[in-house]
């Protein structure tokens, strides 16, 4: 049967939810078997982190799958959400909202990310003339999105400075399951991340616009032939990207409480690692990759200390792409005949 | 005339694919465009559908000038193309491919029309939830034609539909084309299978390097020595 999450033609197919669930269960199982509850705690917190990486990795996968475009502005959209939320909250603009001010601030942050993503769409796609089949096809969107990464980051630096800021969330309740302590914000984050990704796969699989996006992903010329107005569909990709990156940024802000102009850089590179590890172009690959990278990060901190994280994550990516160049769950034919 | 193409010029960079070409298709006829590879036949169909830019000339369809319309606008005016190589979205299911055929429609009868397709082609209906990649070449061609039918075309253009099909399937394909014409759909057929094309068509024209070199009724073309030398000897 079809792989519900894959954007392009999969060579072998497993039901995506089964893969994701299997990865989670196996990781927790191995952790408890080997290391007992100390490790299980690390795995659980890795899953929480992985949920954020997953959401960002899915955003990357969406633009790569549909537009064959590595959208470098995604980390910036992530950062904008956190900084804007902190900005409107700390300036006291939202005092009328009382206890819900922090939540409203996050919604505003996500909305700003979506608007920023649409601005990026205008200047990386709409106004630029790319010719399908030559070097401008990839270089122009890539370079202009890299430009936006730096422009947005420096705008925030000018506006708010380079200091890390505190985003206060008025709850910090914990849940205990055995010896494992779970923060309520963390659990809520996992649920929201999974819901956001589930909503995206629903849109891709079940709606008219989703069918159009998957047709573009496979062959833009076929989409045009069938009457898909690409200039109307491309902004939808950027809106979805903005929502996913913004939601991930909001979850990160709630979970870790720190925001800065550079908060997107680390998450962005980890999400790219997750996407490559899982298999470029496959949504379920991005989901699995995000979870694996999150858990690898927390376990690496536990065993080898905080400075080992990048080496562990990227070492893992290198090993995987040497052994399986298509990534863990890849095998998609992304990369041919894109816009 | 349902479709009128007048003095059409199509250029790709330096390549002058179609040169001052004129043709017309009536609302109840099959017209065939013959010619060897590189004659400009595919460029002609793509330009009529709006998939490649027209350098000069105009295209009228159903009494309206559509020269500068986008492909979606042309589809909504019930002009559809079954492209060369079929261009089925292989990762989508058969059902989703058919739904994409009706992408430009806003009426509520799409599901009814898809059901009618499944009645007509039972091997599509039986596997509607499978990815289109499970279909054979002949079945993919049926799907491509069905997908175009869901635009409810007044004129369907087919670009070398018989390519790569077995003689038996080619026979069935041409029977289908004739039955579509009887249902009131005009056909503009690009073919290299000259024998079969001239059997079903009422008129035809022969292209060579972007020009029309021969034009006439199907009977005239069948009896034409020049065409016989150039193409009929190599048909099938």
| Residue spans per domain, chain A | 16-323
Chain-chain contact of A224 with B81 (C-beta, under 8 angstroms): no
Structural domain boundaries enclosing B48? 3-89+156-234
Per DSSP, B189 falls in state E
pLDDT of residue B12: 83
Please check whether residue B184 lies inside any domain of the structure: yes
pLDDT of residue A336: 34
Nearest-neighbour CA in chain A from B147: distance (Å):
9
- Give the pLDDT band (50/70/90) at residue A182: confident
- Give the pLDDT band (50/70/90) at residue A129: low
pLDDT (tens digit, 9 = 90+) per residue, A28-49?
777 777 777 777 778 888 888 9
More confident residue, A336 or B223: B223
Mean pLDDT across the stretch A140-151? Answer: 88
Mean pLDDT of chain A: 84
Mean pLDDT across the stretch A198-204? Answer: 93
Count how many domains chain B has: 1
Cα gap A222→B100, rounded to integer Å: 10
- The chain B residue lying nearest A214, using CA atoms, is B92
- The chain B residue lying nearest A10, using CA atoms, is B91
More confident residue, B61 or A134: B61
Nearest-neighbour CA in chain A from B232: distance (Å):
32
Nearest to B89 among A10, A218, A227 (CB): A218
Return the exposure string of B84-115: e unless at least 16 CB atoms fall within 10 Å of the residue's CB, then b: bebbbbbbbbbbbbbbbbbbbbeeeebeebbe
pLDDT of residue A131: 58
- Res A321 pLDDT > 70: yes
CB atoms within 10 A of CB B172: 15
The label of the residue with tokens 């021969």 reads: B214
pLDDT of residue A240: 97
Helices (H), chain B: 41-49, 71-76, 94-101, 110-120, 122-125, 137-149, 167-182, 194-200, 218-223, 225-230
Chain-chain contact of A8 with B92 (C-beta, under 8 angstroms): no
Cα gap A48→A199, rounded to integer Å: 19
Find chain B residues with C-beta within 8 A of A228's C-beta: 72, 103
Chain-chain contact of A224 with B92 (C-beta, under 8 angstroms): no
More confident residue, A171 or B72: B72
pLDDT (tens digit, 0 to 9) for every residue of chain B, 236 residues total?
A: 999 999 999 998 788 999 999 999 999 999 999 998 889 999 999 999 999 889 999 999 999 999 999 999 999 999 999 999 999 999 899 999 999 999 999 999 999 999 999 999 999 999 999 999 999 999 999 999 999 999 999 999 999 999 999 999 999 999 999 999 999 999 999 998 998 999 999 999 999 999 999 999 999 998 887 776 666 554 44
The label of the residue with tokens 């991340």 reads: A193
Residue length of chain A: 339
- The chain B residue lying nearest A222, using CA atoms, is B87
Q: Which of B12, B78, B91, B96 to mutate to test the interface with A (most CBs of A within 10 A)?
A: B91
pLDDT of residue B235: 43
- Res A338 pLDDT > 50: no
Nearest-neighbour CA in chain A from B207: distance (Å):
24
pLDDT of residue B56: 94
Mean pLDDT across the stretch A13-21? Answer: 64
Q: Which of B50, B93, B103, B104 to mutate to test the interface with A (most CBs of A within 10 A)?
A: B103
Mean pLDDT across the stretch A247-264? Answer: 93
Nearest to A218 among B81, B91, B104 (CB): B91
pLDDT (tens digit, 9 = 90+) per residue, A58-107?
999 999 888 888 999 999 999 999 999 999 999 888 888 888 899 999 99
Give the residue from A327, A264, A302 showing the smallest Cα distance to A35: A302
Nearest to A215 among B71, B92, B104 (CB): B92
Find chain A residues with C-beta within 8 A of B83's C-beta: 222, 225
- Res A332 pLDDT > 60: no
Please check whether residue B58 lies inside any domain of the structure: yes
Nearest-neighbour CA in chain B from A284: distance (Å):
15
- Res A1 pLDDT > 60: no
Please check whether residue B148 lies inside any domain of the structure: no
Q: Hey, which residues 63-82 in chain B have their CB within 8 Å of chain A?
A: 70-72, 75-76, 81
pLDDT of residue B104: 94
Please check whether residue B162 lies inside any domain of the structure: yes
Domain boundaries A16-323, corresponding CATH code: 1.10.3470
Nearest-neighbour CA in chain A from B222: distance (Å):
33
pLDDT of residue A59: 96
ipTM for this prediction: 0.91
- Cα B190 to Cα A61, A69, A333, B31, B69, distances in angstroms: 39, 36, 30, 9, 22
- Res A271 pLDDT > 50: yes
More confident residue, B98 or A229: B98
Nearest to A228 among B76, B81, B103 (CB): B103
Chain-chain contact of B89 with A10 (C-beta, under 8 angstroms): no
pLDDT of residue A279: 87
> B219: domain CATH number?
3.40.50.300
């Amino acid at each position: 049967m079809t792989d519900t999450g894959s954007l392009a033609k999969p060579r072998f197919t497993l039901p995506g939810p089964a893969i994701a669930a299997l990865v989670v269960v196996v990781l927790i199982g191995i952790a408890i078997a080997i290391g007992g509850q100390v490790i299980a705690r690390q795995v659980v917190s890795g899953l929480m982190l992985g949920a954020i990486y997953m959401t960002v990795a899915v955003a990357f996968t969406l633009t790569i799958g549909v537009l064959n475009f590595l959208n470098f502005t995604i980390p910036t959209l992530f950062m904008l959400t956190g900084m804007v939320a902190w900005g409107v909250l700390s300036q006291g603009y939202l005092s009328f909202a009382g206890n819900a001010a922090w939540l409203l601030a996050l919604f505003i942050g996500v909305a700003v990310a979506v608007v920023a993503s649409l601005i990026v769409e205008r200047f990386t796609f709409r106004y630029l003339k790319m010719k399908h089949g030559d070097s401008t096809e990839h270089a122009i969107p890539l370079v202009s999105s890299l430009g936006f990464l730096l422009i947005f980051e420096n705008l925030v630096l000018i506006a708010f400075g380079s200091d890390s800021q505190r985003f206060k969330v008025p709850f910090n309740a914990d849940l205990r399951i055995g010896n494992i302590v779970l923060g309520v914000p963390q659990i809520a984050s996992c649920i929201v991340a999974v819901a956001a990704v589930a909503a995206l796969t629903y849109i891709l699989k079940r709606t008219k616009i989703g069918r159009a996006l998957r047709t573009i992903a496979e062959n833009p010329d076929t989409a045009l032939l069938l009457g898909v107005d690409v200039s109307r569909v491309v902004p939808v990709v950027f809106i979805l990207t903005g929502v996913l990156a913004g939601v991930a940024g909001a979850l990160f802000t709630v979970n870790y409480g720190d925001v800065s102009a550079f908060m997107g850089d680390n998450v962005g590179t980890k999400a790219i690692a997750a996407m490559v590890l899982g298999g470029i172009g496959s949504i379920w690959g991005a989901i699995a990759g995000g979870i694996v990278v999150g858990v690898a990060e927390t376990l690496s901190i536990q065993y080898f200390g905080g400075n080992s994280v990048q080496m562990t994550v990227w070492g893992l990516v290198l090993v995987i792409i040497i052994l399986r160049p298509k990534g863990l769950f890849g095998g998609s034919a992304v990369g041919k005949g894109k816009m | 005339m349902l479709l009128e193409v007048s003095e059409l010029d199509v250029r790709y960079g330096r390549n002058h694919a179609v040169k001052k070409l004129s043709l017309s298709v009536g609302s109840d006829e099959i017209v065939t465009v013959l010619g060897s590879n590189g004659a400009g036949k595919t460029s002609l169909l793509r330009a009529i559908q709006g998939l490649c830019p027209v350098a000069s000339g105009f295209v009228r369809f159903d009494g309206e000038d559509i020269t500068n319309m986008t492909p979606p606008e042309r589809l909504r005016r019930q002009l559809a193309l079954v492209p060369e190589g079929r261009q089925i979205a292989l990762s989508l299911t058969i059902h989703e491919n058919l739904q994409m055929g009706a992408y430009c429609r806003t009426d509520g009868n799409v599901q009814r029309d898809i059901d009618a397709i499944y009645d007509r082609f039972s091997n599509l209906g039986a596997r509607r939830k499978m990815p289109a990649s499970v279909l054979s070449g002949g079945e993919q061609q049926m799907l491509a034609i069905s997908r175009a039918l869901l635009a409810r075309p007044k004129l369907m253009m087919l670009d070398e539909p018989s390519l790569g099909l077995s003689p038996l399937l080619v026979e069935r394909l041409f029977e289908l084309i004739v039955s579509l014409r009887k249902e009131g759909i005009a056909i503009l057929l690009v073919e290299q299978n000259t024998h079969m094309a001239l059997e079903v068509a009422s008129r035809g024209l022969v292209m060579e390097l972007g020009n029309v070199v021969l034009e006439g009724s199907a009977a005239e073309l069948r009896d034409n020595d020049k065409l016989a030398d150039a193409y009929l000897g190599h048909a099938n």
